[in-house]
A = this chain, B = another copy of it.
């Protein structure tokens, strides 16, 4: 029993003391229970929403420190003020999430090392190309008992194996790292519209449950699955399928075709993941990170949008040009991922097992017209899902 409790216990008459004990005890949080302190590394659109979700929970739950520190890549705003100063003054990320209050317990910090030094829960949510550099800066400077989670989509899929962001963090920082992925359009979650997400973890179920606690709100439902690779690969591979869905939209082929392409894409995502990691579970694809994220990305999303424009122009304007015109400086990931996936498949001699992935690559490389996306039906022999899965695992073992 902590000092506060003793004080309450002995200084008020028994019935009141009992009532008092049922209230949260402010001092106990610092004494005999492990306290979790969270830092969000990144402060873009999704990072700011993540900070908002987390901040509402650290206030509410006893096992977390109220304060959520958010590392902000410092920028000068047009007004001449620093972005961190404005966030700390107004409680809003006026640049990347304007109009949304993050919570008063969110503290913007421009100093990366200072932001992470006390945290034992680290949330990584930067553009993926920055993670290598961030890990270098942070190595040896974080708490050894820290747990990490990556919200970063868009890892590279190289021949020698995919560069999972969670693995990068885990190896470089020497910490356990989970991932959180799902059907998560940041602005919709910021407006507290009902959404879901999936935490993928490798071993530490207890840590995964803590991440679920930290992110879950009544409008943001989080579940955990023991399949970190499956969950992280979903977040990357869906972009290839979204480009295919964009082609279908651009060619005005209708809902049957779009649904068929999405279904074939989901299957290829699953088989490809299983080929790389036989431990990947089929059930992961029924979670938010799988089928739901695919649906959201194929209904809206930038990869779909540029794919649609590419098909409308009959492949006569390049992806680079359309990206610059349509995405306001944001980057398209699906085309690059399609190329990377194709290289892995060529290397393993199993391009024929992935007609959709291969068609997206060939079309975006200008070797086939956009309409080729539906000619995958002529691929022979046609593999059923379970045959593919078995074969995928054999390929993996042979490799």
Contact = CB atoms under 8 A, between A and B. Distances in A.
B291 A291 contact: yes
Interface string A352-392: 00000000000000000000001001100010111000000
A286 interface: yes
Contacts of A384: 223, 225
B259 A292 contact: yes
A296 B259 contact: yes
B195 A299 contact: no
A195 B286 contact: no
A218 B259 contact: no
Most chain B CB neighbours (cut-off 10 Å) among A221, A266, A295 = A295
B286 A266 contact: yes
A279 to B, nearest CB: 16
A262 interface: yes
A117 to B, nearest CB: 34
Given A259-B292, A282-B283, A283-B282, A377 B253 contact: no
- Interface residue range, chain A: 35 or more
Given A219-B374, A263-B288, A266-B286, A296 B255 contact: yes
A3 interface: no
A201 to B, nearest CB: 13
Contact of A262 (B263, B270, B295): B295
B223 A256 contact: no
A4 interface: no
Given A196-B263, A263-B291, A184 B256 contact: yes
A300 interface: yes
Contacts of A258: 295-296, 299
Nearest to A295: B259
A183 interface: yes
Interface in A250-295: 253-264, 266-267, 270, 282-283, 285-288, 291-293, 295
A377 B295 contact: no
- The number of times this chain is found in the oligomer is 2
A262 B262 CA distance: 14
B382 A259 contact: no
Interface stretch (A10-18, A54-62, A185-193): A185-193
A223 B386 CA distance: 12
Contacts of A96: none
Contact of A259 (B183, B257, B259, B386): B183
B282 A263 contact: no
A378 B218 contact: yes
Interface in A124-167: none
A103 to B, nearest CB: 21
A110 to B, nearest CB: 31
Contacts of A188: 253-257
B374 A260 contact: no
Nearest to A195: B256
Interface in A213-229: 218-219, 221, 223, 225
24 contacts: A188-B256, A188-B257, A189-B256, A193-B257, A196-B260, A196-B263, A218-B378, A219-B374, A221-B377, A223-B384, A225-B384, A255-B300, A256-B296, A259-B291, A259-B292, A259-B293, A262-B291, A262-B292, A262-B295, A263-B291, A266-B291, A267-B286, A270-B286, A285-B286
Given A255-B295, A282-B282, 18 more contacts: A183-B259, A185-B256, A194-B260, A195-B256, A195-B260, A219-B374, A221-B377, A221-B382, A255-B299, A258-B296, A259-B291, A259-B296, A260-B288, A263-B288, A263-B295, A266-B291, A286-B385, A291-B291
Per CB-CB distance, the 9 closest pairs between chain A and chain B, nearest first, are A194-B374, A263-B292, A259-B295, A183-B259, A259-B292, A195-B256, A259-B296, A196-B260, A188-B254
